[in-house]
C-alpha cells in the first residue's frame, strides 16, 4: 500500500529517535512538488520532533523533492543519496544535518 506525504509527515514525530540527535535544535523545511505539492516543516528541539504544514521563515535546512520520490525515500524504496545525486532530491542549508536526517528516524 502506497503511503501519502500527509501520512508520512504525521508519522515523523513517533518515528523520531532522540538518541540519534542529542541536543539538536533545528527546523527542517520540506518543499514537495508533484501530486502532493505543499510545504511542511519539522521542528526538532528538546529531544522531540513536531511537524506542521506550511513554510517556516528561517529553516536550518530545506529539502525539496517530488512528493512521490520523497515517499519512496522515506519508505526505503529509493536511496536518499542516490536520489540526491540524480537530482531528485535537492538540499539547501546545513548539509551535515541532511546526512543525519535518515538516521534520526525509524524508517518503516
What pLDDT was estimated at residue 108? 55
Residue 89: is it exposed, middle or buried by C-beta count within 10 angstroms (0-12/13-18/19+)?
Answer: buried
Averages of pLDDT over each 10 residues, the chain, 108 residues: 86 94 96 97 97 97 96 88 94 91 79
What pLDDT was estimated at residue 35? 96
Grid coordinates representing 56 are 517556516
What pLDDT was estimated at residue 1? 56
**What's the number of CA atoms in the CB half-sphere (13 Å) around residue 18?**
12
CB 25 within 8 A of CB 59: no
Q: Which residues contact 57 (CB under 8 A, 6 or more apart)?
A: none
For the chain, the residue count is 108
Assessment of whether the complete model's pTM goes beyond 0.75: yes
Structural fold of domain 5-97: Nonspecific Lipid-transfer Protein; Chain A (3.30.1050)
Q: Where are the beta strands (DSSP E) in the chain?
A: 26-33, 38-45, 48-53, 61-66, 89-93
Nearest Cα neighbor of 63 from 20, 107, 15, 101 is 101
Amino acid at each position: 500500500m502506497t503511503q501519502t506525504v500527509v501520512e508520512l509527515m504525521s508519522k515523523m514525530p513517533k518515528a523520531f529517535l532522540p538518541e540519534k540527535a542529542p541536543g539538536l535544535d533545528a527546523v527542517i523545511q520540506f518543499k514537495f512538488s508533484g501530486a502532493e505539492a505543499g510545504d511542511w516543516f519539522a521542528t526538532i528541539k528538546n529531544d522531540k520532533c513536531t511537524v506542521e504544514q506550511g513554510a517556516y521563515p528561517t529553516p536550518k535546512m530545506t529539502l525539496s523533492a517530488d512528493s512521490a520520490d520523497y515517499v519512496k525515500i522515506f519508505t526505503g524504496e529509493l536511496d536518499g543519496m542516490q536520489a540526491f545525486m540524480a537530482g531528485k532530491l535537492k538540499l539547501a542549508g546545513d548539509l551535515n544535518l541532511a546526512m543525519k536526517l535518515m538516521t534520526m528516524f525509524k524508517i518503516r
